[in-house]
Amino acid sequence: MTNTGTAVVADDAARAEDRLAFARAALGDASATLERASMDAGFRSYWRSSGEPTRIVMDAPPGKEDVRPWLAIRDLLEHGGVRVPRVLAREVEAGFLLLEDLGTQTLLQVIDEANATTWFDAALDQLLPLQKIAAPAGFPRYDEALLTRELKLFDDWLLGTHLGHPLDCALTDPLELVYRRLMDAILAQPSVLVHRDFMPRNLMPLRDGGLAVLDFQDAVVGPISYDVLSLFKDAFHGWPQDLVDWGVARYHERATAAGLPVPGLTDFRRDVDLIGVQRHLKVLGIFARLNHRDGKPKYLADAPRFMRYLLDVIPKHRMLQPLQAVIEERVLPQVGALPSR
């Protein structure tokens, strides 16, 4: 093993010792043990304690993750009436939090077509109050710079790094034209607080009913359609179009009644389509980056779903036609079979 490899193993062992020491002190149990509960696409990991009741340790290694944004957003959401994990102990500088244990199954694991409308309504019970929260002054925004950075992930990581296409004018000119049109339309939408990953994998069914919201630390102020799109056009599970159409209409009905600034339903459906194109392109870029930069190839298996999402929407909007040619000529031949509609 190289010296670098030895150092990594030593760092992992030291981190495990620190994590266990924090857990035992926070729990008041010198014999407590931890087992991995889950980890996400970043560097955070989650560990379940032994004993009853079980607790969750969030491990956010300093220098790679910062728990303070997570804590700040958690407090903001809780004060706004959104159900979020309760924090029972913290060691912020070390990157450790002790959280309530919300269980072992996310909504993604329990939702299906038979119960989807009930669960989606429960999700809207959390999304609507989230969108009504007034963000503090200086809160990050989904502005043109952020939208551009996200779209560039598709160019640089999927097209360039993963598929090996030179980013020449023949490729970038049609993309830049569509990106400009997308950004103009997105920035014209009403703005609310946006979770940015409001989907079943980040919602936890509670023992006493309802859902809790996870993974909210990247929240921004941005387009009102964004979280609606994320919920119904999930990164990890595809739904029939009639269920998606029902969900968008159901959200629109409830948001209108709640006094949120939604446009008419026809315009809102268009807004959902357009923010979906931006998000799907971004996610495809992120999946490629996770593979090539972070050594996490499993996410690319979901790339064909996003191709299907894009090709179901693009033909409906003339402004997006240059993008269709790029996808059909440069991406589809190398991505694999698309899932059925």
pLDDT in tens, 9-56: 456 889 999 999 999 999 999 999 999 997 665 688 999 999 999 999
pLDDT for res 334: 82
pLDDT recorded at residue 41: 57
The span from the CA of 240 to the CA of 198, in Å, is 19
Q: What pLDDT, on a 0 to 100 scale, did the predictor assign at position 214?
A: 94
pLDDT at 7 over 60: no
Query: pLDDT, tens digit, for every residue of 148-196?
Result: 999 999 999 999 999 999 999 999 999 999 999 999 999 999 999 999 9
pLDDT over 90 (residue 237) = no
* 78 has a pLDDT exceeding 70: yes
Handedness of CA 212, 214, 220, 222 (dihedral sign): negative
pTM of the model: 0.88
pLDDT at 236: 81
Pick 44 or 99 by higher pLDDT.
Answer: 99
Mean pLDDT of 130-158: 95
Residue 335 is predicted with a pLDDT of 78
Average pLDDT score over residue span 100-113? 95
For residue 339, what pLDDT is reported? 64
Over 50: is that where the pLDDT of 322 sits? yes
> What was the pLDDT predicted at 338?
61
pLDDT digits over 251-286, tens only? Answer: 999 999 999 999 999 999 999 999 999 999 999 999
Residue 1 has pLDDT above 50, yes or no: no
pLDDT of 4 strictly over 50: no
pLDDT tens-digit series, residues 281-295: 999 999 999 999 999
Checking 232-237 for CB contacts under 8 A at 24+ apart, the result is 232/120, 233/276, 233/279, 233/280, 233/309, 234/108, 234/199, 234/200, 234/201, 235/199, 235/201, 235/283, 235/302, 235/305, 235/306, 236/108, 236/199, 236/200, 236/201, 236/302, 237/108, 237/111, 237/200
Q: Three-class SS of residue 202?
A: helix
* Three-class secondary structure assignment of the chain: CCHHHHHHHHHHHHHHHHHHHHHHHHHCCCCCCEEEEEECCCCCEEEEECCCCCEEEEECCCCCCCHHHHHHHHHHHHHCCCCCCCEEEEEHHHCEEEEECCCCCCHHHHCCCCCHHHHHHHHHHHHHHHHHCCCCCCCCECCHHHHHHHHHHHHHHHHHHHCCCCCCHHHHHHHHHHHHHHHHHHHCCCEEEECCCCCHHHEEECCCCCEEECCCCCCEEEECCHHHHHHHCCCCCCCCHHHHHHHHHHHHHHHHHCCCCCCCHHHHHHHHHHHHHHHHHHHHHHHHHHHHCCCCHHHHHHHHHHHHHHHHHHHHCHHHHHHHHHHHHHHHHHHCCCCCC
Q: What percent of the chain has pLDDT over 90?
A: 82
Judge contact between 178 and 320, C-beta under 8 A: yes
Q: Residue 332 pLDDT more than 90?
A: no
The Cα–Cα gap between 205 and 104 comes to 9
- pLDDT value at position 188? 97
Q: Whole-number mean pLDDT of the chain?
A: 92
Terminal Cα-to-Cα distance of the chain (whole angstroms): 48
